[in-house]
Amino acid sequence: MTADPQPTLSGSELQHAVEQAVRRLQQGGLVAIPTETVYGLAADASNEQAVQKIFSTKGRPADHPLIVHLAAPSILDTLGNRSDAWFKLIAPWVRDLPEEAMRLVEAFWPGPLTLVLKKDKHVLSAVTGGQDTIALRSPDHPVAQALLQAFGGGLAAPSANRFGKVSPTRAADVSAEFSDQANLLILDGGDCAVGIESTIVDLSSGVPVLLRPGAITPEQIAQQTGVRVLQTGACADSEKITPRVSGSLKAHYAPNTPLRLYAAGAALDCISQYPDTKSHVALIVWDSEQMSDPQVLGASHIQQVTIPEQSDLFASRLYRLLRDLDDHSWDLIVMPEPPIGQEWDGVRDRLQRACFGSGPPVNNHVSS
């Protein structure tokens, strides 16, 4: 379902980089890996000290669980029964594998969908933040898959950003994020095609619940598998059945520049509410709707930047755009509110959190 990333490494370079990465992981080190969603900061999921390094490097609270990434079955394995091949890979990690989970796996793996399931007893508590469940996904990226195949175990990997900050969607973003970690090995897999983190569905409580919206929507899941995923907003008892998800903190994915969303046609109102009227403003507009308003064109402190009005393209550029804008000295970024519709829910979720947490660290609501 995702476009292939641009190949950045030739066949032999990739093999060499993967071998080096496997050695680093076996020694308990961290490796930044490309996935189709965002870059991840990976460690051997069975090595407690290695997993602890993820938390200290990111500055992430220890009770925020990690996703374990799994290799997809090899072509040979799938020649028999594809479903059996997936089952064999997943079963060692979980205590219970509901039939609905297998339907989601067959329809969407490898891909940007994470499943939360009851964990097997051998899974490290450091990985699951002390919870009784584990989050699993198999990424749809050739470099990640090559590494997972060669490594042969699960890789615990959160997004490769400092806690609460914008996730990286290319190798250079990871080095900028961890510029103080000179030894961090980063596998370059080009730009991430999806651009926002995976959809998370919790299947551990009997009722499939959406924990984080992403490129794969509940509508798509229902259409392709018949599984109905409850959106937490629609669940009266959501507080009780939703486990801790760091992406569910109000402030997350935050740029350093203040960010506001404007309703259709209300861009100038939004800008005028900002206290300093001469602030340098990056005004994001749909690519079909460049503004010809003289108040915008005549204002040297306002610059228009266009963004595509298709949800998948918007998602693939969102974090890149926020990082680029953050690198310039804008005082304010204003963006259009995403349209209604499940295909926009992932983007809307990230933008709302980004607005809440945006601004220089001193005003930032993120607690890390």
Q: For residues 141-160, which are near ligand TXA according to CB under 6 A?
A: 157-159
Q: For residues 112-141, which are near ligand TXA according to CB under 6 A?
A: 112, 114, 116, 128, 131, 133-135, 137, 139
Span of 2-10, 59-67, 78-86, 353-361 interacting with ligand TXA by CB under 6 A: 59-67
Contact (CB, 8 A) for 134 and 93: yes
Nearest distance from C-beta of residue 91 to ligand TXA, angstroms: 17
Contact (CB, 8 A) for 154 and 38: no
Total of chain residues touching ligand TXA, rule CB under 6 A: 30
Question: Among 177, 197, 312, 326, which residue sits at the site for ligand TXA (rule: CB under 6 A)?
Answer: 197
Q: Should residue 198 be labelled a site residue for ligand TXA when binding is judged by CB under 6 A?
A: yes
Distances (CA, A) of 52 to 57, 60, 62, 163, 366: 9, 10, 8, 14, 21
Span of 168-176, 193-201, 340-348, 354-362 interacting with ligand TXA by CB under 6 A: 193-201
- For residues 9, 11, 14, 19, the Cα torsion angle rounded to the nearest 10 degrees is -160
> Which token pair is 12?
């032999």
Interatomic CA distance for residues 200 and 283, integer angstroms: 31
Nearest distance from C-beta of residue 63 to ligand TXA, angstroms: 9
The DSSP secondary-structure symbol of 208 reads -
Partner interacting with residue 67 (select from ligand TXA, Mg ion, none; CB below 5-8 Å by kind): ligand TXA
Hey, which bits of 5-158 come out as E strands?
31-33, 40-44, 67-69, 113-118, 133-137, 155-156
Helix (H, G, I), strand (E, B) or coil at 340: coil
- If the CB atoms of residues 67 and 325 are measured against ligand TXA, the closer one turns out to be 67
Q: In what order do the strands lie in the sheet with 332-336?
A: 259-262, 332-336, 281-286, 302-307
CA-nearest of 169, 156, 165 to 123 is 156
The contact set with Mg ion (CB under 5 A) reads 159
Nearest distance from C-beta of residue 137 to ligand TXA, angstroms: 6
Q: What are phi and psi of 356, to 5 degrees?
A: -60, -40
Span of 86-94, 243-251, 284-292, 305-313 interacting with ligand TXA by CB under 6 A: 243-251
Nearest distance from C-beta of residue 235 to ligand TXA, angstroms: 15
Partner interacting with residue 32 (select from ligand TXA, Mg ion, none; CB below 5-8 Å by kind): none
Nearest distance from C-beta of residue 112 to ligand TXA, angstroms: 6
Nearest distance from C-beta of residue 4 to ligand TXA, angstroms: 17
Q: What are phi and psi of 298, to 5 degrees?
A: -85, -10
Q: Should residue 243 be labelled a site residue for ligand TXA when binding is judged by CB under 6 A?
A: yes
- If the CB atoms of residues 37 and 364 are measured against ligand TXA, the closer one turns out to be 37
Q: What are phi and psi of 12, to 5 degrees?
A: -75, -35
Interatomic CA distance for residues 105 and 82, integer angstroms: 10
Q: Should residue 65 be labelled a site residue for ligand TXA when binding is judged by CB under 6 A?
A: yes
Q: What are phi and psi of 107, to 5 degrees?
A: -80, -35
Q: Should residue 338 be labelled a site residue for ligand TXA when binding is judged by CB under 6 A?
A: no
Span of 23-31, 32-40, 96-104, 256-264 interacting with ligand TXA by CB under 6 A: 32-40
192 CB-side CA count, 13 A = 38
Question: Among 220, 246, 311, 364, which residue sits at the site for ligand TXA (rule: CB under 6 A)?
Answer: 246
Nearest distance from C-beta of residue 164 to Mg ion, angstroms: 9
If you count them, how many residues does the chain have? 368
- If the CB atoms of residues 22 and 216 are measured against ligand TXA, the closer one turns out to be 216
Q: Which residue is nearest to Mg ion (CB)?
A: 159
Binding site for ligand TXA (CB under 6 A): 35, 37-38, 40, 64-67, 112, 114, 116, 128, 131, 133-135, 137, 139, 157-159, 197-198, 200, 211, 243-247
